Amino acid sequence: MVEYIDTRKDYDKVIAWINSRNLLAVDTETTGTDPLSDQLLLIQVGNSTNQYVLDFIRLKSEGVTFDEIKTWLSDREYTKVFHNAKFDYKFLKHTLGCEIEGIVCTFVIEHILKKGLRQKGFGLADVAMRYVNRDMSKAVRQTFAEHELGADYTKDQIYYAAVDVEYLLDIYAKQQELLAEANMEGLAALECAAVAPTGDMELNGIYLSPDKWKALFEISEVSRQEKEKILYEALGDTIDKFKSVLREEAISKELSRLQLKSKKTAPAQESLDLFNDKTTTSARDIAAAKVQDAKYFVVNLNSSAQMQKILSLHLGQAVESTEEEKLRRIKHPIIDKVIDLRKATKLCTTYGEEFLKKAVHPITGRVHTNFNQTRADSGRYSSSNPVNLQNIPNKTEYRAAFQVQDKDWRMICADYSG
């Protein structure tokens, strides 16, 4: 049974029902994926028999403070089953301002059971089909992104929201059986307990000093230019030879273009052909004149395709690849200079000004990465969106740009050893 809740009277009835059950499924609908800038719309609570869809905006306008929901969420005696719990956790905690205890995440559990055996198929629609043979279309999901706050919901939207909690407890029951067979109940409990602190890390984010970062990419750009100059000087007349190669390639392309154009525009009966044997030289002259512009001869030492040809010319042997591992096999002083430039360029492009624009949240001024708890086959955390915080250069000056914002706080760094 699906019930849409938008009045204080119905809300109180739901609270009484919630408090009488120790195990329930929970989900949310939102306008987007960012809890700091997007809006919580619906809170769904239920089981296979009853599904309640709470209209957060309308209930709030009715004077509902959600204190009863906060109390229930923060009580570890009540088990709340989510799918991709971290997402809902962040929206609920940021919006309601409460702790959430007793979290079970069927998304995390599915990774524990299946990761390594499959690379995809962990979404709610996938596991619902796998465990309870239910087709859960996600087509309606996109309609919430443009939903006007306080406006009516369609029947399809309410049903979609309700279905997300209807089958969760049945899915969890099936997963529990598999966990018991694999003797992984303890592992699942540990990973589910880690959802909340992982969500907290993402919500809190970390401060990246814009001034320190800007100073770093200014320094790194100077270093990149120096490395580029060193490589240019080391290559010597190879650069001129390569420019000749570029010129011949440009002429050849222009000849082909002119020939194609001539075939398309010249009448079939016309006897004069610009590209017959008698006029080949003049055709080349025409093509050469067309490509005198310097744009045809730009040497880009950061282009893998160009560097492959340049090194082949310089070394007098075919260079099959410019991948670092394969370049290292070539014993020649020029290789170190190529790799040095590549590393310097990466610092500028990957960790330059664009990194700062992409990484820092416009509302908080902090970096809020996504920590993927169980997605890596190794079982280790990974980081993504908007940036990978686990791949920051290990140079002290780059790490030092991440700092506390309050002078009374300290940052503690720790790592596993041995």
- What pTM does this model have? 0.85
Do 113 and 232 have their domain in common?
no
Do 227 and 370 have their domain in common?
yes
What are the distances in angstroms from CA 83 to CA 195, 209, 384? 11, 35, 20
The pLDDT tens digits of the residues spanning 158-190 come to: 999 999 999 999 999 999 999 999 999 999 999
Specify the pLDDT at position 270: 47
Find where tokens 């970096």 sit.
367
Last residue within a domain, chosen from 173, 204, 235: 204
The pLDDT tens digits of the residues spanning 398-417 come to: 999 999 988 899 988 887 77
Do 138 and 274 have their domain in common?
no
Q: Is 80 helix (H, G, I), strand (E, B) or coil?
A: strand
Number of domains in the chain: 2
CATH number of 167's domain:
3.30.420.10
Measured CA to CA, the distance from residue 339 to residue 354 in angstroms comes to 23
Half-sphere exposure of 390 (CA within 13 A, CB side): 11
Do 22 and 98 have their domain in common?
yes
The pLDDT tens digits of the residues spanning 91-108 come to: 999 999 999 999 999 999
Last residue within a domain, chosen from 204, 221, 242: 204
Do 153 and 211 have their domain in common?
no
Q: Is 217 helix (H, G, I), strand (E, B) or coil?
A: helix
Do 134 and 229 have their domain in common?
no
Do 181 and 265 have their domain in common?
no
Specify the pLDDT at position 258: 78
Do 52 and 190 have their domain in common?
yes
Do 268 and 386 have their domain in common?
yes
Last residue within a domain, chosen from 172, 204, 236: 204
Do 217 and 191 have their domain in common?
no
Do 180 and 250 have their domain in common?
no
- Letter for the amino acid at 289? A
Give the structural domain span for 385: 207-418
Find where tokens 């524990």 sit.
112
What are the distances in angstroms from CA 10 to CA 91, 163, 211, 266? 23, 20, 53, 81
Do 212 and 333 have their domain in common?
yes
Looking at residues 274-289, what average pLDDT do you find? Answer: 63
